[in-house]
Structure 1
Amino acid sequence: MFKKLSIIALGTGLILGAGGGWVQQADAQKPDWAGKGKPDHAGPKEKVENVIYMIPDGFNADYATNYRWYKGEDAVWDEHLKGLHKTYSEDSRVTDSAAAGTAMASGVKTTNGTVGLDEEGNEVETILEASEDQGKSTGLVATSTITHATPAVFASHVESRDNEAEIAKQMLANDVDVMLGGGKDFFVPESEGGEQEENLIEQAKEEGYTSVETQEELMDADDIDVEDGEKLLGLFADGPLNPEIDRESTEQPSLSDMTERSIDVLEQDKDGFFLMVEGSQIDWAGHDNDPTWAMKDTEAFEQAVEKAIEFAEEDGNTLVVIAGDHETGGMTVGSNGVYDTKPELVKDVTATGAAMAEELNEDRSNVEEVVEDHTPFDLTEEDVQTIQEAEDPKMAINHYISDEALVGWTSSAHTGVDIPVYAYGPQSDSFSGLLDNTDLPKIMAEAMKIDLADK
């Protein structure tokens, strides 16, 4: 399936030297936890033609640890751990996805809610745009709307992340070669229930895009030649895609499907490519304190990472970088004073807390029936009463399941903790140590020998 491999970056070990350039840290400065075994590649200056930037939104070390217990063995990224990165934004110690993404895409801090602009409102060049300037093909993949904050920061510049209709226009104008995710509503006119004055999908077709809307159409979309100006647009839902737990009941592709097809298309460019892949809904699971959603969407993200590393192993010139943008929910490993955690128990849960809450009748008299139908747990009378009387039954169900799995939560919002950085491929050791989120695109640009500067 894969003809050629590029670089996927996960973390860096570069520091800013006295002369303003990026230099490699000495081995002695690397923390003990920065990976294990032999380095992925021997030399720090090996050729990098392609970068695959993989962002598990909302993910941190607690998610990684719980997922390892959920899976029963190390995740694919565990052996590629390089370091940590700091996430604070220009105006807050706790970032949102727009500010974090802007920093991770451009190397410039900005204020929460801002996309692709610095704190003074000036446009900043992104690693995707710099790659395009170098003649490389580019792609964006997400399980949210493709116009959501994280994908948006790579190919648009707006004051508010909520302006997804304008983001869609700018993404098309930016000639991103592959865009796959949800968000059809932001590409079609109001007459068709959308947010635009004109039909951007039809406009995209006129500009060389093949448009697909189902998993089958995506996998069958052959003969897309980016060298000849052909591109791929996949919008698989009006809004975001479904959570992974019920994706199979739809015609929507998996995150690994979208990653694989993106690489198939982009690898045809002899000048190389840049691809960003976001596991968007890990973050949304954290906001809902839903351990089932979190673990199953992390599993889907790992399957996508496996596709990327598989390609990188064959290609030899591809850097794969894996780093979340922030943590969401304050997930803990263990809860309620118990010295244990059992996230593997959620493997047999068949619906998100939100989906279960929607099945409750008006007086919530069917709590026991609904929850026991979708989980392996037996509710006590006290459990039933707690959910019946809760102001938010969704959160009550999720906290019940979390308690059973001994997974804790401290927030329903983002937190400000440092985030693990993983990397595989040439120059992957450049991501070692304690970094800032602004360092990540700078190291990628240095690896690809491209300029990344303010617009």
Structure 2
Amino acid sequence: MKYNKRTIPILCFILLFTSFLLDHPVEANSTGHEAAHVNNVIFMIPDGFSTSYATNYRIYKGSEESSLDPLLVGMMKTKSANNWVTDSAAAATAMATGYKTNNDMISISSDGKPLETILEATKKAGKVTGLVATSTVTHATPAAFAAHVSSRESKAEVALQMVEKVDVLLGGGKRNFLPQSSGGLQKDRNLIEELQHKGYSFIENRDELLKHQEYTSKLLGLFAAGPMSPELDRHVTEQPSLAEMTTAAITSLSQHPEGFFLMVEGSQIDWAGHAHDAAWAMKDIEAFEKAVEVVLDFAEKDQHTLVVVGGDHDTGGMSVGGYGAYLSKADVLRDVKATGKYMAEQLNSKRSNAKEVLKKYANIELTKEEAKRIKKAEAEELGYVINTITSERAYIGWTTKVHSGLDVPLYAYGPASDWFRGSIDNTDVPKLMAKAMNIPFLSSEGY
């Protein structure tokens, strides 16, 4: 082969560049199987969220894409050990322990044995841990990462078990940590005072959270006696947003050089689905998306943080379009300023002010037929009737007041995110997280 003056420099460049690549191998990007070192894992759970919620949220937002869409990697199966339709306790147990259990059970096997959670394994490995939720922090999903009880209703026991394991705990449920003499659920212990003696900073409202400049690595924030308010109604409270709590949790946990595990739950998307309150659902997804953006900003800068986002199940069987028309108007929900429950509470005893209430809080001009439906509704169904009228205006239908057995979308970002691609079971999630962090985990055999 003859070499001319042009080919010799090109060949030299190729040889030099090949030599450089051999000496400096390219580190895998955020979607590569050969993942960079994972120091932190942030698991975000939009409770009750499925593909129909994702689609309606795009329409509501008026955008072709949400912050989650570019992170989509696959779908997740959700069945529990004893039912094709899971509850939150069994679903969270699967995502926390890598094992299926029966509905209602929290990180205990169907035959009654405690199951190690990914949070506990992370703690044993020398990392710090955090749980953030807009429900009570002892509710089914956060509970499954730090407690072991046969029934999700054992909230006082869940609180007792949490205080030994979780470094940052933010959400509602203050009464679960207080003694009965103070209106709480603990028999004779004030867990808040005990945690303060152990070095936890304790905060109770948004101002305290935002002004708390020196976040210690141990932080307890309980912003309501019970659950926090829905995002639609939060403006009349002194409670922080999910994004603000997430920021505080990351600020605290990231001080620890060995890394951290953080679970963040958008709890009330699920509750909105149970209530058929489409506006509440969209508003809480919006709040969750803002928390996702906080996490992605941190992960992008850190480069050693794996972010996984996935709902635990579908709630309500929401549809995109409905009521006999090829139509969707989820964007009209942006005019709704309160939950259906809140609007029901504003009605007078005869419900004669229904038109004024729906106009003020939902920008809906009630028809005579709609006003009659509200007037005739049973007291316990009043919120559903208001929410149905709102859903009809948005062409959003519902098939159930409980959960459905749908697979749910799974999203991931950062090193090892490619491991979550395809159709996986919810029990695979904690095993893959443990593998990414290279920590021992009782459920990780074969990974």
TM-score by length of 2: 0.91
2:121 counterpart of 1:134: no
Partner of 1:282: 269
The residue that corresponds to 1:18 in the other structure is none
Q: Is the 8 A contact 2:169 2:220 kept in 1?
A: yes
**What is residue 334 of structure 1 aligned with on the other side?**
321
Pick one of 174, 178, 185 that aligns with 1:188.
178
Q: What is the CA deviation profile of residues 413-451 of structure 1, one whole-angstrom value per residue up to 9, with x for unaligned ones? A: 000000000000001011111100000111111101112
Q: Which residue of 2 aligns with 1:420?
A: 409
Letter in 1 for 2:60: Y
In structure 2, the partner of 1:401 is 390
Equivalent in the alignment of 2:247: 260
> Are the aligned partners of 1:44 and 1:430 in contact in 2 as well (CA < 8 Å)?
no
Structure 2 equivalent of residue 21 of structure 1? none
Q: Deviations over 1:341-369 (max 9, x none)?
A: 11110111111000011112222222222
Does residue 1:250 correspond to 2:237, yes or no? yes
8 Å Cα contact 2:105-2:150 kept in structure 1? yes
Choose the corresponding residue for 2:211, options 214, 220, 229: 220
Structure 1 Cα separation of the partners of residues 443 and 338 of structure 2: 45
Partner of 1:78: 69
Letter in structure 2 aligned against 1:403: E
Name the structure 1 match of 2:50.
60
Q: Distance in 2 between matches of 1:61 and 1:40?
A: 24
From 206, 209, 234, the counterpart of 2:221: 234
Residue of structure 1 aligned with 2:155, choices 139, 164, 187: 164
AA in 1 matched with 2:214:
D
Output the TM-score relative to the length of structure 1. Answer: 0.89
Match of 2:258 in 1: 271
* Change in CA separation of 1:167 and 1:389 when aligned onto 2, cut-off 3 Å: same
What is the CA–CA distance in structure 1 between the aligned matches of 2:129 and 2:164, rounded to whole Å?
Answer: 13
| 1:272-301 Cα shifts (integer Å, max 9, x gaps) | 100000000000000000011000000000
State the match for 1:204 in structure 2: 195
Contact 1:39 1:429 in 2 (8 A): no
Task: Report how far residue 454 of structure 1 moved.
Answer: 5.9
Q: What is the deviation of 1:163?
A: 0.7
2:136 counterpart (145, 152, 155):
145
Instruction: Give the total of aligned pairs.
Output: 413
Deviation at 1:332, TM superposition (A): 0.4
Query: Which residue of structure 2 lines up, in the alignment, with residue 434 of structure 1?
Result: 423
Q: Is the CA contact (8 Å cut-off) linking 1:116 and 1:157 kept in structure 2?
A: yes
Q: Say whether the 8 Å CA contact 1:256–1:301 is kept in structure 2.
A: yes
Deviation at 1:43, TM superposition (A): 4.6
**Mapping for residues 3-14 of structure 1, pairs under 5 Å:** none
- Counterparts in 2 of 1:254 and 1:200: CA distance versus 1, 3 Å: same
Counterparts of 1:389 and 1:450 in 2: how far apart (Å)? 59
Structure 1 contact 141–278 (Cα < 8 Å) conserved: yes
Which stretch shows the higher mean deviation, 217-226 or 185-194?
217-226
Instruction: Report deviation, 1:173.
Output: 2.1
Gaps of 5+ in 2: 1-27
Q: Is the 8 A contact 2:101 2:109 kept in 1?
A: yes
Kindly report which structure 2 residues correspond to 1:16-165, keeping only aligned pairs within 5 A, or say none: 40-73=30-63, 74-165=65-156
Give the aligned partner of residue 20 of structure 2.
none
1:364 pairs, out of 347, 351, 357, with 351
Report if aligned partners of 2:97, 2:427 keep a CA contact under 8 Å in 1. Answer: yes
Deviations 1:236-259 (A, max 9, x none): 000011111121221111000000
1:27 maps to which residue?
A: none
Partner of 1:30: none
Q: Is the 8 A contact 1:123 1:454 kept in 2?
A: no
Give the distance between the partners of 2:169 and 2:163, measured in 1 at CA: 9
Provide the rounded CA distance (Å) in 1 between the counterparts of 2:127 and 2:91: 24
**1 or 2 for the larger relative contact order (CA 8 Å, sep ≥6)?**
1
Q: Is the 8 A contact 1:255 1:301 kept in 2?
A: yes
CA contact (8 A) 1:44 1:429 kept: no
Asked if 1 retains the 8 angstrom alpha-carbon contact of 2:215 and 2:251, the reply is no
1:383 — aligned with what? 370
Alignment partners' CA distance in 2, 1:98 and 1:252: 26
CA contact (8 A) 1:140 1:180 kept: yes
Aligned counterpart, 2:23 = none
Give the residue type in structure 2 aligned to 1:421.
Answer: L
Q: Are the equivalent residues in 2 in contact too, given 1:93–1:416 (CA < 8 A)?
A: yes
Contact 1:102/1:116 (<8 A) preserved? yes
RMSD between aligned residues: 1.3
2:163 match: secondary structure: helix
Structure 1 gap segments, 5+ residues each: 1-37
CA radius of gyration, larger in: 2
Residue 225 of structure 1, CA deviation: 4.0
Cα distance between partner residues in 1 of 2:152 and 2:203: 25
SS in 1 for 2:145: helix
* 1:203-248 deviation per Cα after TM superposition (whole angstroms, max 9, x unaligned): 111111110001111122233443xxxx100000000111111212
CA distance in 2, matches of 1:281, 1:225: 28
1-side partners of 2:109 and 2:45: how far apart?
21
Instruction: Tell me the SS of whatever aligns to 1:332.
Output: coil
C-alpha separation in 1, matches of 2:215 and 2:71: 33
Q: Is the 8 A contact 2:32 2:417 kept in 1?
A: no
Distance (Å, rounded) in 2 between the aligned partners of 1:369 and 1:235: 35
Deviation of the 1:39 alpha carbon: 6.8
The answer to whether the 8 Å contact 1:328/1:414 transfers is yes
Per the alignment, in what secondary structure is the counterpart of residue 107 of structure 2? coil
